[in-house]
Structures are given as C-alpha cells and as structure tokens.
Structure 1
Amino acid sequence: MMKPIKKIASLFLALVVMLSFSVTAFAAGATGSITIQSNTDVSVEGKTFRAYKILDVKSYTSDSVVYTVPEALKEFYKTRYSLNGNEGDFDAQVVGKIKEESDLFAFAAAALAAAKAANIAPGTATAGEGATSVTISELPLGYYVVEDAGAATPISALILDTTNPDVTLEIKADQPGIEKKIDGDTDTDDTTEGLVDYNNAAIGDKVPYVLTTRVPDMTGYTKYYFVVNDTLSKGLSFNGDVTITLGDTTLTKDTDYTVTATENADGTTSVEIVFKNFIQYKNAEKRNITITYSATVNGQAVIGVAGNPNAVTLTYSNNPNISDSGTTDQPDKPTEGSPVGETPEDETRTYVTAIELIKVDPEGNRLTDAEFTVTGQKTNIVLLRKDVFTKAEEGDYWKLKNGTYTTTEPTEETKADYESITDRYSKEIKAETIQTRESVTATGVVGSDGILRVEGLSAGEYTITEVKAPAGYNLLKTPIVIRIDWSAPAASSTDCSWTVSGVEGAVVIGGLVKVTIENNAGTELPSTGGIGTTIFYVLGGALVLAAVVLLVTRKRMRNRG
C-alpha cells in the first residue's frame, strides 16, 4: 500500500517542481509603469496622459516575449496589414509587420485611434501643479501607445516586459520641424523688417532666406537621415550661397553637408541639402541649426497679387527599430521605403508688380508710336514688353476702329466696329531688358495696341515722361509721378495687395498698375516767352526804329527848306 502512495507523492512533487520551473514563462499578474517627464521645452504640469495596450504579453522567458493581439483590435490589424487571420500564426505575423513599419508615428496614431474606437480602457494619470513628471502605474505588461490627452496625439509607442517593466520617457514634439523666413532686415524691401513670410521686390533683387530647425532627440538610433528639400518657383533663381551653422559651429560644405540644385521641367528649381553622418550630432540635441541662402528675382517672375513662392520640407528618420543604408552613392540620403517622415511644407512668397501705360486720344481710341521713359529708384532690371501686330493672311486678330485688336471674328452685326473685315493680324510680343545698379531710366515705345508694359517693379515712386508724342498730337508738358505701395497678405490668404496714388484714373487690376495717358491733337502754339513773342518784340522794335528815322529825316528836310 505504501508503494502506490510513494509513487503518487513522487509524481505530485515532480509536478510541483515542474510548475516551479515554468512560472517564469507566464506573465499573469505582472505589471509595469510608464513615467512621463518634462523637458526644457514642454512641461507635463496639468497634463493628462493615457496609455492604451495594443498588444498583450502572453508569456515570456529570459530570452523572449510572446505577444498576442487583443480581440478588440484584430480587425484593425487585419485591415492594416491585409491579413485574414487564418494564415499561420496571426499574432506572430502582426508583430513582424509592426517591426517593419516605416513610419512608426503614423502607426502609433492609427493604433491609438483604433484602441479608442474599440473602447479599450487606458491607464491614466494627471500631473499636478508644479509637477515635472507623472507616472501611470499598475499596467499589465504589453505594447502600449501613450497619448497626451489634451493634444490627442501619440507621444510614444513602447514595450513593457519583464526586462523593462518600468519605462521613463520625456515628453517632446511629435516630429522635427523646420521654419522658413525672408530676412526683412537685409532684403531690398523697405516695407519689411525682421524675419517675415512675405516681401516685395524688383526683378534683379536678391531675396535672403533663413531656415531654422534643431537637432532632434536621436535616442535609440544608430543612423539618422536629415535632409532639407527646398523648391523655388520659376521666378526665383538659386544663387548657391548656402551657409549652415549648428549651434556656434559653421559647417563645411561637402564635408558636413552636400547641396544639389536641379532645374525641373516646369521651370522650378529643387534644392536638396543632405547632412552627412547626422548621427554624429546625437549629443548636440536641441541645438539650433540655421541655414541661409539667397535667390534672385528673374524675368519669369509672376506679376501681380499671387506672388512667387519658395517652399521647404524636412525629411527625417522616424523609426530606430529599422536599419537602413541609404542610396549606393549617397548613404546619408534615404531611398524609397526608408523609415522616414516629412514635415509639413513651410512657404514664403515674393511679390512683383508692373506698370501698364495705355495711350489714347480724347475719345478713348488707342494711339501708337508714343515714346516714354520710366524712372525709379527701386529697380535693378526692367522688362519692357509690347505687342506688335502685323498683317498676316492666317492671323488670329482683327483691328477695331478704336485702335485695339481682338480675336473675335467680325459679323454682319459687328462689322461697323472693325477697321477692316478682311485684314487679319498676327501678334508678336517684343521684350527689351534694361539693367542698372541703383536706379533706372527705361525708354520704350507703345505697341500696336497703344500699350507699353514696364515689368519687374517693386513698391516705390516712379516718374513717367513722354519724350515723343504720336504724329499730329501734342507732347505732354508735365511728367507723371506715381506712387506704388504694397501690403502683405492677410492671415487667411496668400494674395497681397498693391495700391497706386498720384495719378487720377490710375487703377490696380490683378496687381498690375494701369495708367491711361491722353494726348490732344493739333499743333501747339507758342506760349508767352516763346519764339512768337520774341518775333513780336523784334518787329515792334523795328517799327519804332523806322518811325524815329522817319521823324529825324523830315525834321532835317524842314530845316534845309
């Protein structure tokens, strides 16, 4: 009887021993904590944080952890990774897919939204007054997404397990940022000061740019991409004068960074600045990075209220769990599929205007062959543009009796408005470029349609002088002085505003200043002080002299008699 009892006791003892060896392979009842700390830029004081468990810990050993997908999140993972749940070990596949995520922040945001939608109860803690840290305690081991409840965005995705059950993280911005400004203190625009988003300039002006960012937290990374991508519109020419400072250190081109400028098919220019071996600045976290360069406004600049944009983005590493070697010839430049994120675009705009001179007679009919000079102090390069119409059998234009041209074909009802219903004209745009250093006196002749456009101007005062009148018309006696002023766009728009003063009837349409100049027909009579008055004086003097001579002669004759 004793032998069976001994056998049972031995089996029971063996089972107890086996269970005692197996207890480390199960995680039931194990908990951890997450502590969130303030940093120099962001405080946790008064903030509430929530931790949502998006993977459960099924078991663990000293070497590995086995995760399972919570029932409430299975559909989320199936949809995100295109899994049906039947192929092999679903849990292991999900874990593998998470490790392959190229944008961990985007994954965390999606998982956070899914956890909320599934009503998963979070662990919660609120930092009190003056607190520099806050701890979410008694959390079952697992894979968590932590959010700042006030911002409703994830601040971290992290793992709690037996090797690291208590995790501390520092609250920080979700991603690196970059800001672009125009240096209003060194540009040629007298209306802007400091770092601004908008300015106005003339063709030929240099626009100085300042880009600012900071060295991010690179904890956990062994390699980090940091690439600035700048796009200049076709009205801005890149000058290649890039300088970069990191803290108090000036970086060296080609040693610390590379600059590549590419002219695109649409006329824009892409400028790429690649920082080399950026991970070397890991211990310089939060130090400012300042990038400066300039662009010159060119003849393709957009005239008017829309402006000439210049936009920048920053491409940066965002997943320390994925290693990547970059391109073959540029290891510091990410390839398609590299684990990187991109900041929102930050943009500046430079605005340019023009004066359109319209020559008419008193009835409003267009006049040709008038010649003008436009003088201003705020101009480096001026484009004089005019339309020249010549007769052509296959032309697209007809001439109207008022001197303008139209592409509308005459009809029986409208033919009375046309100079000829058979003559056609083709249009050619002729442009002349005048360059100067400080001021300009640009001379041009109005086109066949009575219009001369002076393009590439900024805000300032301009003098318009007629130096040759159309045949049969009087020359303007007094120069026209106009003042063009500029205002930056309102907060909700990118369209600027231009205003004109000093000339009656001058208007601004779409950012183009239009000035109508009227000439009167006839030959101008001499004015007082002119040649005509001189002739009268001469003739009068001659008559008086003749009368004196006659009187003297008669008196002598009487005396002789």
Structure 2
Amino acid sequence: MKKILALVLALALILASCAVAFADANNGSITVDNAVIGKKYELYRLFDATVAANGGTAYTLPANKEADTGFANYFKIENGYVLPLSTFTAAVAGSDEFQTWAQGFGTKVKEETASSSTVAFTGLTYGYYFVKSEVGAILTIDSANPSEHVIDKNQTNDSDKKIVEGTNKVVVNEAGINENVAFELTETVKNYDKADKIYRYVIDDQLDPAFSYDKTSLVVKINNTVVAEKTAENTTGKYTITWNDTTPSFEILIPWTDNDAFTGNHLYDNNSIIVVTYTAKLDPAKVIGNLNVGATPNKNTAQLKWFKGSENPTTPNGERPKDETETFDTALTIIKHDQAGNVLTGAQFTLTSTNGTKVSIVTENTYVEAADGTHYKLKDDTYTTEAPNGNATHDAVYASTTTKYKLQTNQVVKGEGQTDTSMAS
C-alpha cells in the first residue's frame, strides 16, 4: 500500500489581537495546485478558527474534541486557545507520527478526485485543516488564511523514448545503412519537484557515433502545439537547441516560467506534455570504425533534466534516469562458393545501394576447436571434412585424428582501405 503523507496547512498558529471574527464564517477555501488527475484528495478539520478584521486567526478545540496525549506532543492550550509547541517544526508536521495522529484526531469534511491539475475545497468553515493525498504527496502552505493554496509536491516527471515504425512504437528495431529511423521522446512534466519550483527544463539526446541527425526533421510540441525555436530572428520562440555533430547529440532548453527563473510564474499547466520528434540514420560516411553490428546495438539515449529552487544553480539540479532505444544494423551474410561447394576464403564483394553508396565485404574463415566440429586439421594447415579411418597410411596426413574443428565464417566490412568490426555468421 502506498504510504500516505500529509502536511498540516499552517505551521504557525496566530493568536488574534482582535477578537472580532469575520461575519461570514463559511467562506474559507483551500486550493490544491499541481494535483494528480484521477487521484483522491481528502480534507480533515483539526481545530475551529475565528478570523479577526486585521487578519489574525485564533484556534480553539472543537466542542466535541478533547486534548489527548497526541495533542500534547504538538500543541498546548493557553487562555482557551490552541498554540503550537516550540518544538512543532515543519519536519515534525511532516512526520508519519504527526500525520497518523492528525488523521485520527481530525474530522474528515470533504473528499475530491482531481479532474484537472487543481482541486478546490470551497465553502469551508474557518479552521485548521490538513490534506491527505493518495499519491503520497506532501502538501505545504502557499498563501494566507482564509483562502489557502497548497501545492502537491511529491509528483515525479515521466519520460518515454520510442522508435516509431508506422503505427508501432518500439524500443528495439533494425535498420540498414542510410535508412531513416524515426525517434519520439515524450515527457510528462510537473511544475514542482517536492518543495521546489521548477523553472526550466532540459532535454539531452545522444546517438551512437554511426548515426547522423536530420536536423530539419526536428519538431517540438508542448501540449500538442508545435512551438518554434527561439533565435535571433525569432525572439518569441519557446525553446533553444544546441547541436553537437561530433558526439552526435543535442540539448534543448525550455523556459518553464515567464522570466526563466525561480521568481517567475509558470507558463504551462502541471502535467504538461512535451513531445520531441526527429529522424536519424546510420550514416554511410560514418559507419567505418563506428557502426555496431551483430549482437551489439546502436543506441539512442535521452534524459530529462530541470532547474529548480531559489538558489539559481548553474547546472540542472534535478533529473530522471536515462531512456534508451537500440537499433541493430540489418544482418547480411554472403558466402562465395566454388563449383564444388567449397567456401572461397578471401573472396571479395562490392555492394552498391540504390543511392550509389558502395560497401565492400570480405569473407574470412577461421577454424576453432569444438567437440561437435565436423572438420579435421591436416599437417599442411588445411582442413578437411573427411574423418580419419584408422588406416595408418590414410591417417598420416592428419595433424590429429581426434581433435575436431568448427568452421566460423565472418563478413568483414571494408571501405577506403579500413576494416570495420567483423560480423560473425
């Protein structure tokens, strides 16, 4: 079962200097921002309150409640009013012990399931409340009585990296040299990381070196709307991007507040969705020495990072684990035989694709010892599939009459005088 956390909405109780309460005592409200859609939020009332004309608030025990042992651990009563102990800190209010007591002592007054990123409890009698969230969220105060705003700050960002093949989205695929591969990165993002406001998002994307990006294919959407890159010519763009052709990689920066700083107001709703799409290919100009073949994939790695809090960090201080896709080079096995069916060691082929790209492949054979092998080594360092028969004259040409060997055929990619990694067949 998920751990249920809550935090009392006000950590400081204010004893009013004026005892005159507002006439309308049923007009309080508590709004939960950054809520998780589909999750339940429960409101519990701990103490009664009167709000003075000068804004001061006095808290008292409800008529049907008495100060119990748990109460005495956190509060005291002076002149009939509830006051916090000096030891009642934010850390104490966020503890499991306090929240267990508060839920048992308090009276549940309302329950709402979030249908958007905001949950509003309205028409409340003035009082001292706490909110419980089934997502395990810690809720903290954001503004003053009698209208409180609390922020659900225990959500996490979500990231999903995929390869798009028609109507399918996969994390592993095959592709040939010079064939476009479509990538899609989807980020569901929040406005807070725990108690810290998020004010800038960063998306880092990196390909293995045999890939090249098609920069013209890149599209960025926020909440299903295509947004433009911010440039010297387009100062109203919503993101900036830095390309690195050597790595190859790119970095996208997206301001999340109107001044790209902690002090700004959020530009987008909680649970907004960022989608980045683009294509890349296994570049024929880069595959020599870089292409991973056989059982080793060519990877694409993406990571979501963010800037948060009021300390103005120079590098992102929040991040998700990396997401990864794998592209395997399309397998190709070519073996040249003579008329008798024997493999021609060292036979060289030249392949030409429809776009004129040429790749040379050399077939090379090696023999390895294997109990299930079908070859025998002869004294002249050649191999035969004819087994020894026990005749001394016949068997005299064998290096060993008991050791068996298996033929291993490799295709070696060659281009411009270089040799790439072997592809065992």
Q: What band does the TM-score fall into relative to the shorter chain?
A: 0.5 to 0.7
Out of 169-178 and 245-254, give the one that drifted further: 169-178
Identical aligned pairs, as a percentage?
Answer: 22
Aligned mates of 1:34, 1:229 — CA distance in 2: 38
2:279 aligned partner: 294
TM-score after normalising by structure 2: 0.52
Shift of 1:272: 1.9
Q: Does 1:233 align with 2:208?
A: yes
Q: Does 1:159 align with 2:149?
A: no
Shift of 1:258: 3.4
**What do residues 139-191 of structure 1 show as CA deviations (whole Å, max 9, x unaligned)?**
9637x5631x3xx332x512288x3244366989934444433343xxxxxxx
Match among 329, 348, 362 for residue 352 of structure 1: 329
2:415 aligned partner: 433
Shift of 1:63: 9.2
Q: Aligned in 2, Cα 1:23/1:178: closer, same or farther, shift over 3 Å?
A: same
Shift of 1:368: 1.9
Task: Kindly indicate whether the alpha-carbon contact (under 8 Å) linking 1:181 and 1:210 is maintained by their aligned counterparts in 2.
Answer: yes
Q: Aligned in 2, Cα 1:94/1:116: closer, same or farther, shift over 3 Å?
A: closer
Task: Kindly indicate whether the alpha-carbon contact (under 8 Å) linking 1:36 and 1:168 is maintained by their aligned counterparts in 2.
Answer: yes
Aligned mates of 1:416, 1:235 — CA distance in 2: 45
1:315 aligned partner: 305
1:250 aligned partner: 228
The within-5 A match list for 1:405-444 is 416=400, 431-433=413-415
Equivalent position SS for 1:324 = coil
Task: Kindly indicate whether the alpha-carbon contact (under 8 Å) linking 2:43 and 2:111 is maintained by their aligned counterparts in 1.
Answer: no
Equivalent position SS for 1:416 = coil
Give the AA of the match of 2:220. I
Shift of 1:224: 0.9
Give the AA of the match of 2:178. G
Aligned mates of 1:453, 1:353 — CA distance in 2: 14
Equivalent position SS for 2:178 = coil
Give the AA of the match of 1:313. Q
The within-5 A match list for 1:389-538 is 400-401=377-378, 403=382, 416=400, 431-433=413-415, 514=425
Equivalent position SS for 1:225 = strand
Aligned mates of 1:262, 1:38 — CA distance in 2: 35
Match among 155, 174, 184 for residue 210 of structure 1: 184
Shift of 1:228: 0.8
Q: Does 1:272 align with 2:251?
A: yes
Structure with greater strand share of residues: 2
Aligned mates of 1:114, 1:235 — CA distance in 2: 56
Task: Kindly indicate whether the alpha-carbon contact (under 8 Å) linking 1:243 and 1:292 is maintained by their aligned counterparts in 2.
Answer: yes
**What do residues 50-70 of structure 1 show as CA deviations (whole Å, max 9, x unaligned)?**
4589x999xx997999xxxxx
Q: Aligned in 2, Cα 1:379/1:346: closer, same or farther, shift over 3 Å?
A: farther
Aligned mates of 2:131, 2:209 — CA distance in 1: 44
1:259 aligned partner: 241
Shift of 1:202: 1.2
The within-5 A match list for 1:61-210 is 91=88, 94=91, 111=94, 121=104, 123=108, 125-127=110-112, 135=121, 141=128, 144=130, 146-147=132-133, 149=134, 152-154=135-137, 157-159=139-141, 163-167=144-148, 174-184=155-165, 192-193=166-167, 196-210=170-184
Greater relative CO (CA pairs within 8 A, separation 6+): 2
Equivalent position SS for 2:400 = helix
Task: Kindly indicate whether the alpha-carbon contact (under 8 Å) linking 1:229 and 1:272 is maintained by their aligned counterparts in 2.
Answer: yes
Shift of 1:42: 3.2
Q: Aligned in 2, Cα 1:174/1:215: closer, same or farther, shift over 3 Å?
A: closer
Q: Aligned in 2, Cα 1:125/1:180: closer, same or farther, shift over 3 Å?
A: same
TM-score after normalising by structure 1: 0.42
CA RMSD after TM alignment: 6.2
**What do residues 428-451 of structure 1 show as CA deviations (whole Å, max 9, x unaligned)?**
x974138xxxxxxxxxxxx9xxxx
Task: Kindly indicate whether the alpha-carbon contact (under 8 Å) linking 2:359 and 2:413 is maintained by their aligned counterparts in 1.
Answer: no
Shift of 1:201: 1.0
**What do residues 83-103 of structure 1 show as CA deviations (whole Å, max 9, x unaligned)?**
xxxxxx7556859xx9xxxxx
Task: Kindly indicate whether the alpha-carbon contact (under 8 Å) linking 1:204 and 1:381 is maintained by their aligned counterparts in 2.
Answer: no
Out of 299-308 and 224-233, give the one that drifted further: 299-308
Aligned mates of 1:307, 1:379 — CA distance in 2: 25
Shift of 1:292: 3.4
**What do residues 1-49 of structure 1 show as CA deviations (whole Å, max 9, x unaligned)?**
xxxxxxxxxxxxxxxxxx994879xxxxxx976456999x935xxx642
Gaps of 5+ in 1: 1-18, 25-30, 66-70, 74-88, 99-110, 185-191, 328-332, 390-398, 405-413, 420-428, 435-446, 456-511, 515-561
Q: Aligned in 2, Cα 1:197/1:20: closer, same or farther, shift over 3 Å?
A: closer
**What do residues 191-238 of structure 1 show as CA deviations (whole Å, max 9, x unaligned)?**
x446554432112333233334478558x9987111112232344334
Task: Kindly indicate whether the alpha-carbon contact (under 8 Å) linking 1:365 and 1:403 is maintained by their aligned counterparts in 2.
Answer: no
1:484 aligned partner: none
Task: Kindly indicate whether the alpha-carbon contact (under 8 Å) linking 1:48 and 1:125 is maintained by their aligned counterparts in 2.
Answer: no
Gaps of 5+ in 2: 1-14, 21-26, 58-68, 72-85, 260-264, 367-375, 384-397, 404-410
Aligned mates of 2:329, 2:360 — CA distance in 1: 12
Q: Aligned in 2, Cα 1:221/1:372: closer, same or farther, shift over 3 Å?
A: closer
Q: Aligned in 2, Cα 1:276/1:230: closer, same or farther, shift over 3 Å?
A: same
Equivalent position SS for 2:312 = coil
Match among 41, 44, 62 for residue 49 of structure 1: 41
Equivalent position SS for 2:199 = coil
Give the AA of the match of 2:251. E
Aligned mates of 1:430, 1:195 — CA distance in 2: 32
2:345 aligned partner: 368
